């Protein structure tokens, strides 16, 4: 019953739009008939112009709804941001970007929970992983994965020179145990004492957990919680998400001979965006979008200004490939 109710809810929007489409078609036919009436001809022409504009918009909306739905769209996500080239400056930008995504999540009423973090020497983070819970989190943020380049004058730069650094972003859907089954014999689990900032419990209890998935070589470390059990549980969730991401990448490579030309690779190594602070400019290279309001976007988390055009871009690609 629950599955049927979910399916009905997913079909409701397309049913409503299809019903409106039929009504518009009927209205167009009625107005075409009125063109033969000299008294109503001008009125019918004006009405036809509006109706034909409305039906084109509705057609495009229906095409999007007819696309196969991404099964992960309604899932929560793990957002992973890592410092790349640029050393300390990259680590500082990881923190800035994470704050901006957090503000965006807050605007959507999503819950953000830090799962793991590794602090940089001069501040910021070498890596931070957060669980973002909320309706549509994956559907909105799934195209954020890739290399994000930042150009700005570091605080430690006395000559005022602009430096270029990079961070990588990964967006992974939270998956259940039934989605990814892990053989316990494939795991090497080590416990150790926490390190870094963390209060009195640091270096006093073996609460930190490192899990190595032997077949894939994936290593997940978690030390944020005081409980070894909670840290292990959190690390297993991240491990499942990474294994699922790896599995999906393999599936897509098999399905698409030239995936990059069709829908974009989504590869973490692909540079997708540049944040230029001296020019107050943010540019997304996949859709040739440039906005000169970087400060407002970073301070208020107004990522919809970038995310909406990107979603539209990928939807158009999918419609083209589906032959709709």
Residue 195's pLDDT is 64
Residue 1's pLDDT is 85
Considering only the C-alpha atoms of the chain, give the largest distance between any 2 of them, rounded to a whole number of Å: 91
pLDDT tens string 108-132: 999 999 988 889 888 899 999 999 9
pLDDT greater at residue 35 or residue 291: 291
How far is 312 from 293, CA to CA, in rounded Å? 21
How far is 232 from 182, CA to CA, in rounded Å? 14
Residue 198's pLDDT is 46
Q: What is the mean pLDDT of residues 126-147?
A: 93
Nearest-CA neighbor of 277 among 170, 159, 99, 155? Answer: 155
Residue 298's pLDDT is 93
How far is 26 from 40, CA to CA, in rounded Å? 18
Lowest mean pLDDT among 39-48, 58-67, 173-182, 248-257: 248-257
Q: What is the mean pLDDT of residues 305-324?
A: 84
Residue 266 has pLDDT above 60, yes or no: no
Residue 268 has pLDDT above 80, yes or no: no
CB 100 within 8 A of CB 73: no
Structure tokens at 166: 């990079």
CB 147 within 8 A of CB 168: yes
Residue 145's pLDDT is 92
pLDDT greater at residue 249 or residue 266: 249
DSSP 157-223: -SS---EEEEEEEEEEE---TTTS---GGGEEEEEE---SS-GGGTTTS--EEEEEETTTTEEEEE-
Confidence band of 269 (pLDDT split at 50, 70, 90): low
pLDDT greater at residue 261 or residue 133: 133
Q: How many CB atoms lie within 10 A of CB 212?
A: 16
Residue 260 has pLDDT above 60, yes or no: no
Residue 233's pLDDT is 87
Check: pTM over 0.75? Answer yes or no.
no
Q: Which domains does the chain have, with CATH numbers?
A: 2-66 (no CATH), 77-178+261-322 (3.30.70.1660), 184-252 (3.30.160.20)
- Percent with pLDDT over 70 in the chain: 89
Q: Tell me what the pLDDT averaged over the chain comes to.
A: 85
Q: What is the mean pLDDT of residues 46-64?
A: 89
């Amino acid at each position: 019953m629950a599955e049927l109710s979910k399916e009905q809810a997913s079909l409701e929007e397309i049913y409503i739009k299809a019903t409106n489409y039929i009504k518009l078609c009927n209205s167009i036919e009625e107005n075409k008939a009125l063109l033969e009436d000299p008294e109503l001809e001008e009125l019918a022409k004006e009405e036809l112009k509006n109706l034909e504009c409305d039906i084109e918009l509705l057609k495009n909306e229906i095409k999007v709804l007819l696309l196969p739905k991404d099964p992960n769209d309604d899932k929560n996500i793990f957002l992973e941001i890592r410092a790349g080239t640029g050393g300390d400056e990259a680590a500082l930008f990881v923190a800035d970007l994470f704050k901006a995504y957090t503000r965006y999540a807050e605007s959507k009423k999503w819950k953000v929970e830090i799962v793991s973090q590794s602090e940089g020497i001069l501040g910021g983070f070498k890596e931070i992983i957060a669980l973002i819970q909320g309706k549509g989190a994956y559907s909105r943020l799934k195209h954020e994965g890739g290399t994000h380049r930042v150009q700005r004058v570091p605080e430690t730069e006395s000559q005022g020179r602009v430096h270029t650094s990079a961070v990588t972003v990964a967006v992974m859907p939270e998956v259940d145990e039934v989605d990814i089954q892990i053989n316990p014999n494939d795991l090497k689990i080590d416990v150790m004492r926490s390190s870094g900032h963390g209060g009195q419990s640091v270096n006093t209890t073996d609460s930190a957990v490192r899990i190595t998935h032997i077949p894939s070589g994936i290593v997940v470390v978690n030390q944020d919680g005081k409980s070894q059990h909670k840290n292990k549980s959190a690390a297993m969730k991240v491990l499942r998400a990474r294994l699922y991401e790896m599995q999906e990448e393999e599936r897509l490579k098999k399905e698409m001979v030239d995936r990059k030309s069709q829908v974009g690779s989504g590869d973490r190594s692909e540079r997708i965006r540049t944040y230029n602070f001296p020019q107050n400019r943010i540019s997304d290279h996949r859709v040739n979008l440039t906005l000169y309001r970087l400060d407002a976007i970073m301070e208020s988390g107004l990522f919809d200004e970038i995310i909406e055009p990107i979603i539209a871009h990928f939807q158009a690609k999918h419609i083209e490939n589906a032959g709709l």
